[in-house]
Amino acid sequence: MKVFIASDHAGFLLKEYLKPQVDMVDLGTDGPISCDYPVFAKKLISHVAEDEKNRGVLICSTGIGMSIAANRNRKIRAALCCNEKMAEMSRCHNDANVIIFGASIIEDINALECLRIFLKTEFEKGRHSRRLALI
């Protein structure tokens, strides 16, 4: 499994906090100068969509923009998570392959814990596979 991370300018500091905590490939942005979140969402989802084992982390100010952009790709199941329960359920019930954080919504340490849960939680399959097939 490869883990990719990307952010816009609003998520840059949280991205920089998370990177050394987990082995990830940084796809940008490279600083806090204003940029367009869809560019970085598109870059990340292309990498995650290449292999079903890959995972991604997207960060913007609220997480809403990145969520909308990422979920336009049918191979992506991106979940905006604000707490540990959401991170766990995004994986075990929804087989999410991208976790999204709103840097102005979540504390750094909470985002890190959510990310760790997201990366270690397995998809339960069963009835959840049937539900995903309906989407």
Residues with active-site annotation: 93
Question: Can you give the length of the chain in residues?
Answer: 135
Residues 6 or more apart whose CB falls under 8 angstroms from that of 62 comprise: 102, 104, 105
Residue whose structure tokens are 């906090």? 17
**Alpha helical stretches, state H, the chain:** 12-18, 37-49, 64-70, 84-92, 108-120, 127-133
Residues 6 or more apart whose CB falls under 8 angstroms from that of 98 comprise: 44, 45, 48, 55, 56, 57, 58, 70, 76, 77, 78, 79
